């Protein structure tokens, strides 16, 4: 008999078909009476497939006594209780590396979009405003000072792309990296003071919650731009709204938010803010590679072999 698997959110048709071949799949997001389901199936669920943006609640994992593996279709694991996983003995995997290029590309795209006002420019043409005169000037993307908070795989990929823009690149992270030539700053506040565009690319942890706070945003200054492609929790969203409203920042470009999919109405109404619906890894190519890695982790676990990309 196939093991039970809990699918936390919709996946690509190809990935769902592969999961169906291997497991008895239960779509958690389609189950109306979740308590009744757990009473009937809790003992049969051995695997969960979820997204980094969703994770698995401590309570749900605790309700599944035979849970063996949580396979994350994404790189972030901040919404899975790793202490619980270690204590209970279930494995956690993610899909690093395969999405690095896409997220880095988006970081550059968002930076250009907000500096060159591409969204506003598109609307300027579509609305017919161009017929009445030229659009106001925007700002250069090249030869600017870029700061990257979090110089891991994605942060480094962003930096490599920025080199082609003749950018002055600095970074802040857990510590100075000996093999990195970029200027290092020991705090996000110091980094903000030294850059025009601050790109947030660090992992979400309890230590990084609201690390981009009002002080950092104000240090970035009236000519500064914030770009966030990591997690919404790293930025104090209320402070960001306040600073943007008061003219304390030139603009922002955001792919992630604190309470997704809910976005503050104030941000939606700002012309100097570019918004995206958490699409960092949302390409056909990368989603296919992510699916392959999720399946490889599941197959390895149930075959009793080494996991390709374990978290715990």
- For 260, phi then psi, to 5°, come to -65, 140
Radius of gyration from C-alpha coordinates of the chain: 21
Superfamily of domain covering 100-275: NAD(P)-binding Rossmann-like Domain (3.40.50.720)
Of 58, 143, 174, 260, the active-site residue reads 260
d(CA 177, CA 217): 25
Q: What percent of the chain has pLDDT over 70?
A: 100
Do 4-97+284-303 and 100-275 have matching folds?
yes
CATH 3.40.50.720, domain 4-97+284-303, yes or no: yes
DSSP-derived secondary structure for 98-113? TTHHHHHHHHHHHHHH
Tell me what the mean pLDDT of segment 82-88 comes to. Answer: 98
First to last CA, the chain: 27
**pLDDT given for residue 259 in this prediction:** 95
Strand partners, 246: none
**Token pair 């992270």 in the structure block, residue:** 173
- 260 part of the active site: yes
All structural domains of the chain with their residue ranges: 4-97+284-303, 100-275
Cβ 61 vs Cβ 84: under 8 Å: yes
Active site residue 185: no
Q: Where residue 252 falls among pLDDT bands split at 50, 70, 90? A: very high
Return the C-alpha torsion angle 256, 111, 151, 220, nearest 10.
-90
Q: Point out the catalytic residue in the list 231, 250, 287, 301.
A: 231
Q: What is the pLDDT of residues 118-170, one digit of tens each?
A: 999 999 999 999 999 999 999 999 999 999 999 999 999 999 999 999 999 99
Is 278 one of the annotated active-site residues of the chain? Answer: yes
pLDDT above 90 as % of the chain: 100
How many whole angstroms separate alpha carbon 207 and alpha carbon 149?
13
The catalytic position among 185, 250, 278, 301 is 278
Task: Give the other-Cβ count within 10 Å of 155's Cβ.
Answer: 27
Residue 113 has pLDDT above 90, yes or no: yes
Write down the pLDDT at residue 1: 84
Instruction: Give residue 47's pLDDT band: very low, low, confident or very high (50, 70, 90).
Output: very high
209 CB burial (10 A radius; 0-12, 13-18, 19+): middle
């Amino acid at each position: 008999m196939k093991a039970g698997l809990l699918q936390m959110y919709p996946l690509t048709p190809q990935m769902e078909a592969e999961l169906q071949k291997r497991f008895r799949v239960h779509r958690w997001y389609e189950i109306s009476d979740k308590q009744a389901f757990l009473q009937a199936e809790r003992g049969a669920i051995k695997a969960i497939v979820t997204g980094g943006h969703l994770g698995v609640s401590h309570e749900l994992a605790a309700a599944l006594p035979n849970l063996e593996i949580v396979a994350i279709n994404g790189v972030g694991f901040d919404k899975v209780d790793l202490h619980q996983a270690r204590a209970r003995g279930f494995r956690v995997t993610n899909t690093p590396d395969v999405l690095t290029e896409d997220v880095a590309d988006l970081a550059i795209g968002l930076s250009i979009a907000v500096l060159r006002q591409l969204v506003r420019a598109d609307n300027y043409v579509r609305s017919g405003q161009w017929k009445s005169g030229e659009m106001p000037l925007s700002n250069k993307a090249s030869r600017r000072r870029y700061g990257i908070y979090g110089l891991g795989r994605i942060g480094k990929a962003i930096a490599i792309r920025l080199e082609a823009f003749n950018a002055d690149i600095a970074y802040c992270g857990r510590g100075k990296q000996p093999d990195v030539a970029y200027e290092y700053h020991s705090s996000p506040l110091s980094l903000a003071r030294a850059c025009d565009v601050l790109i947030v690319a660090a992992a979400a942890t309890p230590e990084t919650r609201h690390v981009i706070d009002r002080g950092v945003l104000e240090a970035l200054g009236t000519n500064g731009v914030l770009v966030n492609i990591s997690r919404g929790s790293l930025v104090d969203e209320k402070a960001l709204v306040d600073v943007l409203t008061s003219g304390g920042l030139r603009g922002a470009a955001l792919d992630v938010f604190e309470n997704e999919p809910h976005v503050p109405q104030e941000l939606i109404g700002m012309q100097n803010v570019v918004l995206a619906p958490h699409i960092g890894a949302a390409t056909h190519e990368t989603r296919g590679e992510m699916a392959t890695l999720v399946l490889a982790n599941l197959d390895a676990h149930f075959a009793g072999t080494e996991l390709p990309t374990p978290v715990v």
